[in-house]
Amino acid sequence: MRNDFGAEPSRPTSSLCTLRTHQSPSEWQHSLPAYLLGFDRTGLAPVGLCREVSPSHLRFPLFQVLPSAIFTVPTLRFQVLYVFLVLAHDRRRILHFNVTAHPTAEWTGQQLREAFPFDQGPRYLLRDRDAIFGLDFREQVRDLGIHEVLSTPRSPWQRAYVERVIGSIRRECLDHVIVFDAMSLRRILASYFAYYHRSRTHLSLGKDSPEPRPIQPPAMGPVVAVSQVSGLHHRYERRAA
């Protein structure tokens, strides 16, 4: 297992800010020195915001809710659309998404009910302190038996997985298309997420996709490219000649 802590040699151990591993959570050992840190703009850890994460915190599936106020998409008509995402940490899967031009606490609460039907909710829900997660949303979380974990204000690195997904969506999809309206954006994201789940590989998953792909030996035939996301990306696999 490789751990790249990313701390400068001159920095003390307490200012450790990055933990990177190429193994899945199920392979992490009990001796893993992991920390959750909160940093101010100077990069120093405020007193009381550093706490060690025990291995028990890493065994259960941890889910994140993407703050809709952060993930905004402009349209051709100069309208701003908001995207709501639910991300599963274990396999980097997008469990649910939706688009709206007028986000409310009632709307976000409904998205949570759609994301976790039939008592399938996670144990913990990590989110930021956006005002859109109002009383109706918090009541829905409590009714589902989910424990909310709030990140420190102005600390996107505490939601590193979902922030990375946002960047991937922008760089690999939205920066290359023109969005007309909410229906157009929903269709584009659905196409990209199909590619993201079935074809896009991740180093953190052992170069596998969120939905595992079988290894294809050379005996299966030559490599061919399959167009996806309207030709924006491709899936490469072996097929018999």
CA atoms within 13 A on the CB side of 96: 18
Q: Please report the pLDDT score of residue 40 as a whole number.
A: 32
pTM of the model: 0.71
Q: Please report the pLDDT score of residue 153 as a whole number.
A: 87
- pLDDT by residue (tens digit) across 113-144? 888 877 677 788 888 888 788 888 888 888 88
DSSP 70-87: TSEEE-TTS-EEEEEEEE
Q: Please report the pLDDT score of residue 68 as a whole number.
A: 40
Q: Is the dihedral of CA 91, 132, 106, 127 positive or negative?
A: positive
Give residue limits of the domains in the chain. Answer: 1-59, 63-205
Q: How far apart are CA 26 and CA 28, in angstroms?
A: 6
Amino acid at 148: E
Query: Mapping DSSP to helix (H, G, I), strand (E, B) and coil, where does residue 35 land?
Result: strand
Q: List the chain residues with pLDDT less than 50.
A: 1-61, 66-69
Q: Phi, psi (5° rounding) for residue 35?
A: -140, 150
> Which superfamily is assigned to 63-205 in CATH?
Ribonuclease H-like superfamily/Ribonuclease H (3.30.420.10)
